[in-house]
Every structure is written in C-alpha cells, then in structure tokens.
C-alpha cells in the first residue's frame, strides 16, 4: 500500500477528482449533486469519491437516504507541507535570477 502522500498525489492526478474537490470547497454536496454537475454515472462518481476518501481528501457521510460529501481539511496538509519546501527553493532561485538580470541590465554594476 502506498504512503499517504502518494495516495494524495495519485488522487489529485485526475482532473475529474480535482473538479470534485473544487466543488466541495464551496460546501457539502450530495453524491447525486456531484453526478449532475459532472455528467457522469453514479458508479463513476462513487469510484472517484472512494479514491478521494482513501487519500484522506474528503469525508463521506450518511444521513437517512442521502450521502453528503465534504472536504477533509487535513487531507491536503501533508501535500502542502511537502510542496512548501519546493516553493521556497523556487522563490530563492527566481530571486537570484532577478538579481543576475538586474546586474546584467546595469552595465555599471556588471563591470564592477
């Protein structure tokens, strides 16, 4: 079984699942509402929801005959933490590149 970070990124790799997460970011939705929004069959939506739930990105409930789904805010926390280190790396690299470009565009600084 892959680690939780791998499950998260595998779940996010599919555009339909990302669209479902975007829908759920606005609040709880029923499975039927997701079926209507995405024009997919109920079994297809259920498979996507199972992947998202296994990855810890959503919660699925049961209230009488309905199946509400909601985001699990903790689900993306590990992925965000992992990505943060790379964001810092790229920001630093871009900062250095900006400094180099500024130096090259200013002949006085480039020649010392």
- Enter the tokens of residue 92: 């630093």
User: Does one domain contain both 43 and 10?
Assistant: yes
Report residue 35 CA to chain centroid gap.
Answer: 20
Q: Please check whether residue 49 is in contact with residue 34, taking contact to mean a CB–CB distance below 8 angstroms.
A: yes
| Domain enclosing residue 35, as ranges | 1-75
- State which residues of the chain have pLDDT below 70: 1-2, 109-112
User: Does one domain contain both 19 and 70?
Assistant: yes
Residue 30's CATH number: 1.10.10.10
pTM: 0.76
pLDDT at position 112 is 55
Task: Please state, in angstroms and rounded to a whole number, the distance separating the CA atoms of residues 14 and 26.
Answer: 20
Task: Please state, in angstroms and rounded to a whole number, the distance separating the CA atoms of residues 20 and 35.
Answer: 10
């Amino acid at each position: 079984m892959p680690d939780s970070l791998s499950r998260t990124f595998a779940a996010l790799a599919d555009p339909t699942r990302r669209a479902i997460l975007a829908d759920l970011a606005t609040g709880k939705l029923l499975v039927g509402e997701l079926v209507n929004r995405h024009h997919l069959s109920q079994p297809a939506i259920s498979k996507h929801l199972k992947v998202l739930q296994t990855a810890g990105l959503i919660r699925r409930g049961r209230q009488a005959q309905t199946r509400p789904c909601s985001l699990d805010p903790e689900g993306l926390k590990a992925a965000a933490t992992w990505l943060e280190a790379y964001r810092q790396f790229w920001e630093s690299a871009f900062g250095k590149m900006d400094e180099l470009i500024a130096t090259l565009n200013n002949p006085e600084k480039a020649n010392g």
